Amino acid sequence: MTASPLEEIRRTKLVAIIRSQSLEGLENTVRSLFQGGIRAVEITLNTPGALSGIERMKERYPELLIGAGTVLDSESARLAILSGAGYLLTPTLKKETIETANRYNVPIIPGVMTPTEVLTAYEYGAKMVKIFPISHLGPKYLSDLKGPIPFVETMAVGGISLENAADYLMAGASALGIGSSLVDEKLVKQGDFSEIERRAARFVEIAQNVQLPK
C-alpha cells in the first residue's frame, strides 16, 4: 500500500523548500536533493514557471513527493493540484484554500503561529500545520504549543538549520521545512550542487538519528 503524502512527510521528517529563478536551476537542485536523500520537496509558486516545474519534476522523479508552496488562495491551490502537486503549503491561514485542498483530497499544511490559529486550521480540516516563522520563537515555543494542542501535528519552518534541526524535532515537530540553509540560491547560481547534496545528506542523517523524548 502506497503511503499518503502526510505519512511520507512524517516518515522522512524533512521538506526541502525550493525557490529557483530558472527551470534549469530547479532541475539541478531537485537532482542534488534527491541524491542527498531528500524525498519531499516544496516548489514555491513564486518560482518562475512553478506549475510547469511541478509537472516536470513529477515526471522525472516519480519516487519524490512534490508539493507546492506559497499557496496564497484557493485558485492557486486548484492550479497547483491540477499541475500534480501532491500536497500544499501556505504562509497564512485561509479557510477557502483549505476547503479547496480538501475538496480534491490533497493534504494542505497552512501557515499559523498562535494557539488560536493552530486550532482554527485544524477545525477547518488541516491535519498538520506549519508554524511560521519559527526562527524568532525557538523550539520551546513549539513544545509549549503542543502542551494544550497535542493532537495537531506541526511542521517547523523558518530558520531551520543543521545546528537546530534536532532541537525542533525533539520539541515535537513532526517535520521540518528547510529553505536557504539547504537550498542556498548562491550555491545554485555558482553551480555548486554537490554542496546542496552534501547538506541534504546531513539533514537526512540528523532526522534519522534524532532521539525523540519518550
Neighbours of 122 (CB within 10 A): 18
Catalytic residue among 8, 13, 130, 197: 130
Beta bridge partners of 69: 44
58 is catalytic: no
Q: Cite the beta strand spans of 10-127 per DSSP E.
A: 14-18, 40-44, 65-69, 88-89, 108-109, 111-112
Residue the block writes with cell 504549543? 145
The active-site residue, picked from 8, 13, 42, 94, is 42
How do strand 153-157 and strand 175-178 relate by DSSP bridges? parallel
18 neighbors 41 (Cβ within 8 angstroms): yes
Question: CA–CA separation, 142 vs 125, rounded Å?
Answer: 21
In the annotation, is 42 catalytic? Answer: yes
* Catalytic residue ranges: 42, 130
